[in-house]
Structure 1
Amino acid sequence: MTAGVDHLVVGTASLEPGVQWLADRLGVAPAGRGRHHRYGTHNALWNLDGGTYLELIAVDPEAPDPGRPRWFGLDRFSGPPRLVHWVLRRPDLDAPWAAEHGRPTPLTRDHLAWTLTVPDDGGLPVDGSGVWPSLIAWDGAHPSDGLDDAGLALDRLVLSTPAADSLRARLVAAGLVGHLGNRVTVTPGPVALRAELRTPGGPVVL
C-alpha cells in the first residue's frame, strides 16, 4: 500500500464507555475488535474510506502487565475519550529519519502482521504531542479489508504545531505529497489535532 493516513487513534480510559461515546458520535457501531497481548491493550475499530480506519484503544484490565510501557501513552491517559494520535502508512520504514518516530517493532494479531514505530517510553513520537505520526508498514492484509463499510469517511486531518514547516517537510519526505493540502493540512499554531469526518448523520469533528 502506498503512503497515506493509515488510521486515527482515539484514547479512552475504559473501552466500553468509550465505545458507547464514539458510537453515539458517529451513529455507527464498531465493525471490529481486538487485543494486543504485547502491550496489554484492547480496541474497537471503525472503517473509514480508502484503506483508513479509526481505532479506539484502552488499557485492557484483564491482560497481564506487559512488562513494558504501553503504546500511545496509555499508561498516562486520563479524562474523557479523545483523538490523541494518527498513524502514517509507508511501504517501508527504512528512511534515515524514521527512528526519530520510535523503534520499528514487528507485531502480529490473528491474521494481521505489521511493523510500527514505538518510542521506548511508550509515549507519542518526536515531541509527545500526538501531531507527529507513528509510522506503520503492513505485511499483507490490512485491518480495513475486514471491516464493513458503514458510510464513514475522513474528510480532513488538521495538524497544528509551532513546528509546522518541519512537520510538513517530514510528511513530504514520507511520501504523503498527494494528501498535503487536501486530506492532511499542517498549520502553524498551538499544538492541536483535529479530524473532520463524514458520517451517515452529517459531519463530526474529533
Structure 2
Amino acid sequence: MTTAIAVHPPCVDHLVVLAPDLPTGAAWCERTLGITPTAGGEHPLMGTHNRIFNVSGPAHPRAYLEIIAINTASVPAIPASARRWFDMDDVALQQQVTEQGPQLIHWVAAVPDVAQACADLAPLGIERGAIITASRPTPNGLLQWQITVRDDGQRLMGGCLPTLIQWGDVHPCDSLAASGVHLQQLRLEHPQAATLQAACDALGVAHAAAIGAGDVPRITVELGTPHGPVTLTSIAAG
C-alpha cells in the first residue's frame, strides 16, 4: 500500500532577510527577535548560505524565516551571465544592507504545482523565471524543491511578488522546532497594487497577505517574539 503525499494549498512559505554575512545576520536575529538561529545550510548553485527558523502560527501554519548571505568561500555554479536569486547581486541592495544591516527583502510562496503557477501568471505578462531543481541533505532527510529563479536574479515588483517554490516529500518545518517567533501578518504595498493583487489572486495566495497601494514597494511583517511584537519592514533600494 502506498501513502499519498499531502498536498498543501498555496501559502506563505518563508520570509527572506538579507544579511551582509551570516554572523551579522545571527547577531541581528538575537538582538531584534530574541532568538539564536541554528539551522541552515549551503546553496552551492548560487554561492549562498543561510540560517532558518520556524515562524509557523495559526495564520501561517507552515512558514519559516530565512537569513541569507553570499558565501564568500564558495564560487556559484550558475553561468557567469546569470545572477543569484533574490537580487543578491544588485549593487544598490548590497550597499544598503552593508550600511544599514540585515533587512527583510522578499517572501516566497509555496505552491502545489510550480509550473502551473507560472502559467497562471503568463496572462498578466509576468515572467516569474525558470524553474530550477535543488536539494540539500539534512540530518532529518533530503530536502528537495523546485523554485523559480530569473537569469537576472530579480525578485520582481520590489520583492512584493513572491518567488514560487514547490517542495518534495520533506518540508523544512517538518523538523524545525518551535522558535518562539510567530508570523502574524504579512502586508504588501506597491504603486501597481492592482497588478500585484491580480498576480496574488492568480497564484491563490491573496488570502495570505493584505495588499494595498503605496508610493514605493514595501513588505511589512508582524511577528510575535520573546521580545514582544516586532514589525519588520523592507526598504526600497536605490
**Given the two structures, how large is their TM-score scaled by the length of structure 2?**
0.80
Is 1:119 paired with 2:145?
Answer: no
Match of 1:188 in 2: 213
Match of 1:66 in 2: 77
1: CA distance between counterparts of 2:78 and 2:128? 21
Shift of the alpha carbon at 1:67? Answer: 4.0
Contact 2:130 2:148 in 1 (8 A): yes
2: CA distance between counterparts of 1:17 and 1:31? 14
Task: Select the residue among 172, 190, 193 that pairs with 1:161.
Answer: 190
Task: Select the residue among 192, 199, 206 that pairs with 1:170.
Answer: 199
Task: Select the residue among 111, 130, 135 that pairs with 1:103.
Answer: 130
Secondary structure at the counterpart of residue 9 of structure 1: strand
Shift of the alpha carbon at 1:31? Answer: 3.8
RMSD of equivalent CA atoms: 1.5
Identity of aligned residues (%): 38
Contact 1:26 1:201 in 2 (8 A): yes
Secondary structure at the counterpart of residue 186 of structure 2: strand
Contact 1:8 1:87 in 2 (8 A): yes
Shift of the alpha carbon at 1:65? Answer: 3.8
Matched to 2:212, the amino acid is: T
Task: Select the residue among 94, 104, 125 that pairs with 1:83.
Answer: 104
Secondary structure at the counterpart of residue 89 of structure 2: helix
Contact 2:44 2:77 in 1 (8 A): yes
Contact 1:36 1:42 in 2 (8 A): yes
Matched to 1:45, the amino acid is: I
The Cα offsets for residues 133-185 of structure 1, whole Å up to 9 and x where unpaired, read as 10111111111111110221111111000111111122122122543xxxx11
| Structure 1 stretch displaced more, 95-104 or 35-44 | 95-104
2: CA distance between counterparts of 1:45 and 1:23? 13
| Structure 1 stretch displaced more, 83-92 or 168-177 | 168-177
Q: Kindly tell me: are residues 51 and 7 of structure 1, through their superposed partners in 2, closer, same or farther at Cα, counting changes over 3 Å?
A: same
Q: Which one has a bigger Cα radius of gyration? A: 2
The structure in which a higher percent of residues are helix is: 2
The Cα offsets for residues 113-146 of structure 1, whole Å up to 9 and x where unpaired, read as 1111101111213x3x111110111111111111
2: CA distance between counterparts of 1:84 and 1:192? 9
The Cα offsets for residues 13-49 of structure 1, whole Å up to 9 and x where unpaired, read as 1111111112221101114111001100000001011
Secondary structure at the counterpart of residue 107 of structure 2: strand
2: CA distance between counterparts of 1:148 and 1:17? 23
